[in-house]
Structures are given as structure tokens and as C-alpha cells.
Structure 1
Amino acid sequence: MKKININSIIAQLLFILALGTFGSCTDWDEFKKYTKDGEIQYSGKIDSIKIFSGKERVKFKGEMNADPKIVKYKIFWNDYSDSVEYSIDKVSGVLPIEQVFEVDEGVKNFVAITYDDEGNASVPSNAVGTSYGDTYRRKINNRLIESFTFNPDNTIINWALMDLTTGAQFTEVKLPVNGEMKTITTPVTENQTVLEGVTTSTEFEYRTIFKPEPTSIDTFAVPYAQEEFIVVPQLQNRQVPFIASARDGRWGTLADWITNDAIKIHNGHGGWDEWNGNIFNVESGWGAPSITNGKIYQVMELPAGTYTFKIADLLSTNLLDTDQTYLVVAAGEELPDVEQVDTAIGYTQVHGGKSVDQLKVEFTLEEPTQVSLGYLTSQAGGTPGKFCNIRAFDFYMN
């Protein structure tokens, strides 16, 4: 039997494999480009790569040890189908790399490769970054206005809370102030914009600025929204601690409110109570006389619009639905008497059986109107008497 030489077979197979690998002169020449003395030669690579996001572009940063043989580098993305190329000046030391270039929207893997003057390539370096565009724009919206506060010296825009994960940075408000256009910037971490010196009804525009990432090189802005605020007089001295214009011991008279004599049953005072933190309280009985058509109110000139006047915080009361006490809004300079309460623009009865959400008057004015709004009551004396402790009123344009 003829013996098989295993070593001879293995040698022949290796020879065939070598021919298949390097059988082409062109392939062999390409391979030799990156070898010297039998070893692969690599150019120096770019290190410390960082990608900063932008608006349909990115900023590429890195550094490399300067190599006089290196003449250029290329940055690839989209699986090497897109790239940019930059030449390198021959300098010594550590060479900083920084380039900004356009990139289609999306998360990308960026690969950087350097090349020497013989075409030898470096080991690839890579980093992941994002370019933002229309998809991100569709996710961002203007900050919402919650309400306005009108003061004698300024107007305040009260902003709604924002979703900070969208990258919202600040809101710009543009409006005329003393005949000059001003832009006021408010960070999204602040909930108010104070417009100093703005005390009349004014048209304005605003927009919110976004950064998709904290280190992004670009910002995104939503279109300006057009808005107008109509300055509405504010209810004065409306919450605890209420201010007294005059007092005698526990009892006083409210500053900024008109109080008729029927209320002033405590040595010429009434409506202001030192107890419970200087509260609004109309109390009769327990040695004090009864009250007939007692009125505490303020007078305002209001523009056309829809409004709400309410008791915002009721501490306690023993008034019943059979008592004659009302929150009232009436045309003119004075509240009506209890018997004519139906002639008012709007009213609601005040008693302990109502929730605070029910203690309000909503009304609409078709034209600018002078109105009186306040508290109207006729209540008994004796013991026990009647009282109504109110911590706060509120009034606003809807």
C-alpha cells in the first residue's frame, strides 16, 4: 500500500492559499504601501475626539502629536459614505484639531483617519455625535403665558412651567417701552418677566430659544408669537396681612377700600380684624350692634372683557344660606343695598355651606365700564353674632 505524506499535503495547501491571497500584482502593491521591512506602517492618529451637536452640522474637536509626514485627515460618517477632508500644516508639538461641517440630521458615528505623504492611513479614531434638524424642531414649542399681573409701575408676565428636557433655555419678549423697542430675556428657570414702566395696554411678541444639548454650538428658536395684554386695575390690599388705614384696639378700617358707616360698629371701625394675622372680618353681635346694608368695596374703570372676582381663601364663617351676605359686582360708584342686589352686574351669596370654588362672581363687560366690587351684608346682632374671616380676595381678567 502507498503511504500518504501528510506534511507534503499541508505544504501544498498553504502554497495554494498564498497564491489566492497575493495572486494579483495590484493587490500585492496595495498591501506593500502600508508595510516596511515586513511590518504594517500606520500614521499617527487623532486622539481625545469630541463631537458637539449643531443645527444640521457638528463641531469636531481632537488633538494629535504633530508628525511631519502626515499631510491630511478625513472624517467619515454614515458608514463611510460621507466624509470631509482637511490638510494638516507641518507643526511641532501637540496639534489641536477643530472643524465645523454640515451633517444630515441624526445620531452618527464619526471616524477620523490621518494620512501621510505616502498614503499610509492611521488607526481609525471614532466618537458618536448628533446633528439636529426638522425632527427636533417639531418637538419644541413656545412657552405658554399663564397670566398677567398689573401694578402701578410695571406689568408682570407669569409664565407656565416648561418641560426642560426639550432643551429650553430662555424666552425673549419684544415690545415698545417709551417709544423704543426693547427685548427682555427671561431664563426658563424663572417664572416671571417684569416689564418695568409698562402700565398701558400693549401689543408684544415673544419666542422661546432652545439648545438640544448643553454643549450644542447652535440654538433653535420657535417663531414669534403675537400677543396683547390689556392692563386691568388690580384689587388693592387684597390678602393677609390686610392693611388698616386706622384702628382702635382689635378693630380697624381697611386701607384702599371704601367702607360705609354701617360697617363701622366697633368704635367707628370695622372690616379689619387684628386676630388671625390681620384678617378681613365683618363681625356683628357679642355686644356689637347688628349691621344693615354694610358695604366694603373698591371702584375700578375696567375695559371690555370677561372677569372673575372671588374670595380666594375663606378661613371660617358662621353665615348661613338664610343670611343676607353677598360678593357683588355692580355698575357705578357704589354697591346696591341688599334689597336691590338683583340689579348688580353679578353676585353670589356668601355662607359656610359653599366651597371656595363657589364663592366667585364671573361677569362680562361689552364696553369700558366703571364698576364697584366688594362685600355687601345685613347681619344680626346678639349672641352668638355673625362673622366672616377672609384671608384673600382675587380679581383678574379671564
Structure 2
Amino acid sequence: MKRIFTNRIRLAFASLLSLMALYSCSDWDDFKEFTEEGEIQYAGKMDSVKIFSGKGRVLYKAQLSADPKVKMVRIFWNDRKDSVEYQIEKGVGKEPFERTFNVDEGVKNFVTITYDAAGNSSIPVNAVGTSYGDTYRRRLNNRFISLLDFEADKTIINWDAMDLSTGAQYTEVEYVVNGETKRVTTPVSESKTALEGLTESTIIKYRTVFKPEPTSIDTFAVAFQDYAINIVPQLKNKKVPFIASATSGRWGNLANWITNDAAKNHDGFGGWDEWNGNIFNVESGWGSPPIRNGKIYQTLTLDPGIYTFEISNLRDTNLTPDDNTYLVVALGNTLPDVEQVTTSLGHVKIFNGRPIGELRVTFTVQEKSEVSMGYLTTQPDGWPGKFCNIVAFDFYKN
């Protein structure tokens, strides 16, 4: 019994050694198969195959096996109806293999087979990849402009959100300033684009660029679209902290605003108030002289259209409905006197308790014209005096 058991152990050990010898003679990808007809020799198969999508093409990346006998690679798709073929000059060991080739649009199963000089083939290797074309392109749309904001030295485009499932990447904008073409690229993750130096009405061009997959080797772009930007001139120095062009103690004159002598009732200064946080404030009384037809304004050249000039933030005032203080818009390069305020394009009286939404003047310009807008007041001296602290003005086209 002991002898039989020992013989069985020896037989099993011998079989194991035979198997080890068989596999040690071959690379993992280069082996022999025995059938009833005899021995079959396989070429080393392709390894680590990856397919990267492109525009009417794909990028194929893989590792050639260590089999030195491999001489040719064929890659099939469309149920092996289409293929490409590459001759191989093989070195020692595994080598990277990378090729780009044209493929009709769609999701494809790519079958890779290698061959040696004797015509022996490898085991097929399958990998899935996609070629994109007109079907994908028809799903693409340009990004929409939702709103324009105008500043003194630039124009801001506000973009609508995009459907990211199509692979939108960024939007390109082209525009011309002083004969020079400028280009700005904005990722779809950002909602605004600043067009520096664009201060005149013009036509811009823009398009959105897409990538169907994060690893795609190509991008798709919709056609450039023209967009007319009609620049609306902007008020300068229009909110706290207001900037003064000159100061004397508490009071100063506002930069970028025209201030007449009547409004400079603090020894030649007025309109800018340091005590209240560099605010817009016209104050009389409390020892200061009265103001008669004081005017602080800016003049802009406007194209035909409907516009609004407003106080967007009023901190406080002690003016009453009986006082003569107005927000005024008028044609020309100045404001009318209080007595002629009804000749203006529009005006609204400023007083304590008036809703902020009513402190605005909406007006129409019939033809390209100079238009002045600002603050007009006649107010007394005495005790207590009169004041009006304005945090911000705004101006925009409706």
C-alpha cells in the first residue's frame, strides 16, 4: 500500500514539472496548442489596447508583445469588413504601438490580430471605441448671450448655462479694437467674459468648442456667429467710495462729474463728503450758505433708445416734498434750472420716504444726442440744514 501511495506522489510531481516546463518555454502571449491535427503556433497577441475617439478617426494605443517573430498587425472593425494593416520591425521585449487611422462614425468593436512571418496569427484582442462625425455635430449649439454689462473701459458678456452632456469646453470671442483683432477664450464653467477696451458699438464673432469625450483627440466647433454689441456709455465714479478730484477738509469736488459754482458752497467745494464714507452729499445750512440751482451731472452721447437713470442706493436724506431737489435728465451739455425743470427729458423729486424704486427717470432718445443727467437742487441755509447722502447711481439701456 505504501509503495502505491509513493508512486502516485511521484507521478503527480512529474506531471507538475512537465506543466512548468511547458509554460516556462513560452511567453504568456506566445504559446503552442495541441489538437488532434497536431501543434498550432500562435503569434504574441497585442496587449493593453485603448481606443481614443476623434473626428472621423481614432487613436489606437497598445503594447506589442515580447514575441520577436511578430511582423504585422491588422485591426478590424465593422464585423471585419474594414481594416488597417501595419508592418512591424520588432525589437527586444514589449514595445509601445500607437497609430491614428480614419474610421466611419459610430461605436465600433476593434479586433486586433498580429501575425508572424510564417502567417501564424495571434488570439484576437477586442476593444471598443468611437468615431464622431456629422451625427454628433448636429447636436451642438452655440452658447447664448443672456446680458451685456458696460463699464468705462470694457464690455462684459453674461453667458447662459450650457448642456454639458454634449462636451462643451469653451467659447471663443473675436473682436476688433483700433484695428487690432483680439481673441478671448472662456471656459464653459465661467459665466462672464470681459472684452477689454471695447467701448464702441461693433460686431463681435463667437463660437463654442466641444470635445465629445474627455480623452478625445479632436475638438468640434460650431460656426462663428456674429453678434452686434451696441455700446451704452457708462457713468463714471457712480458709487461709494466716490473719488474726489480735489478736497479741502471734509468737502471735495467729484471726479468725472461737472459741478457748477452754486453747488460748491463749502468754500469752493461740494458734492463729495469725507465724513460719511466718501459719499455723494449736497449739504446746506448748519453754517454753510444756501444753494440756488446747484448742479452736479455728467454728459453722455447716446444712440436712439430708451434709457433709465436712477439712484440705486440712497442712504438717507432730510429733504421733504416741499424742497426743490431733483434727479434730472436733459438734452444738451447741462441741466436746466429748477424753474425750467419741466423742460427736461425727465425728472423726479427727491425726498425722505420716497420709495427707492421711484427715484429713477426713464427717458427716450429719438436720435443720437448729447444727454446730461444728474442732481439739481435749490435748498436753504439755516438750522437744521439740508442734506442728501447718495450711495450709488446707475444708468442703463432698457
Q: Normalising TM by the smaller chain, what interval?
A: 0.7 to 0.9
In 1, Cα distance between equivalents of 2:217 and 2:149: 34
Find the counterpart in structure 2 of residue 122 from structure 1: 123
Residue of structure 1 equivalent to 2:360: 360
Deviations for 1:165-206, whole angstroms, at most 9, x for unmatched residues? 3544443333444446x251323266334444x554333322
Whether the aligned pair in 2 keeps the contact of 1:304 and 1:366 (CA below 8 Å) is yes
Q: Contact 2:143 / 2:207 at 8 angstroms: preserved in 1?
A: yes
Matched, 1:174 2:174: yes
Amino acid at match of 1:140: N
SS across alignment from 1:342: helix
- Name the SS for the 2:207 alignment partner: strand
Supply the distance in 2 between the matched residues of 1:167 and 1:356 (Cα, whole angstroms): 45
Q: Hey, what does 1:26 align to over in structure 2?
A: none
Tell me what 1:98 maps to: 98
Q: Quote the RMSD (CA, aligned, Å).
A: 3.3
Which residue is 2:87 aligned to?
88
Q: Deviations over 1:86-126 (max 9, x none)?
A: 23313113332223334455555544343444353325242
Q: Which residue of 2 aligns with 1:3?
A: none
Paired residues for 1:1-398 under 5 Å: 35-36=33-34, 42-76=42-76, 80=79, 83-93=82-92, 94-116=94-116, 117-129=118-130, 131=132, 133-135=134-136, 137-144=138-145, 146-147=147-148, 149=150, 151=152, 155-160=154-159, 162-163=161-162, 165=164, 166-179=166-179, 182-188=181-187, 191-196=192-197, 199-321=199-321, 323-398=323-398
Q: 1:256 to 1:111 in 2, by over 3 A?
A: same
How many angstroms does 1:65 deviate by? 2.0
Gap runs ≥5 in structure 2: 1-31
User: Does the CA contact (< 8 Å) of 2:311 and 2:356 recur in 1?
Assistant: yes
- In the alignment, the residues of structure 2 paired with residue 46 and residue 392 of structure 1 have an alpha-carbon distance, to the nearest angstrom, of 70
Give me the whole-angstrom Cα distance separating, in 2, the residues matched to 1:351 and 1:220. 58
Aligned-partner residue type, residue 306 of structure 1: I
SS class of match (1:277): coil
Task: Tell me the secondary structure at the aligned position of residue 275 of structure 1.
Answer: coil
How much identity, in percent, do the aligned residues show? 51
- Is the Cα contact below 8 Å between 1:301 and 1:370 reproduced in 2? yes
1:160 partner letter: W
Question: 2:183 aligns to what SS in structure 1?
Answer: strand
CA shift, 1:238, in A, is: 1.7
Distance 2:324 2:39 in 1: 104
| 1:299 match: secondary structure | strand
**Structure 2: distance between partners of 1:158 and 1:206:** 11
Distance (whole Å) between structure 1 residues aligned to residue 142 and residue 202 of structure 2: 23
TM-score by structure 1 length? 0.76
| C-alpha distance in 2 between matches for 1:46 and 1:323 | 91
Contact 1:186 1:193 in 2 (8 A): no
- Displacement of 1:360 in angstroms is 2.8
Q: 1:108 to 1:340 in 2, by over 3 A?
A: farther
Preserved contact between residue 66 and residue 90 of structure 1 (Cα < 8 Å): no
* TM-score (normalised: structure 2): 0.76
What do residues 335-384 of structure 1 show as CA deviations (whole Å, max 9, x unaligned)? 12334333211233334545544433332322111111111233455554
Alpha-carbon offset, residue 317 of structure 1: 3.2
> Within 2, Cα distance between the matches of 1:334 and 1:390?
21
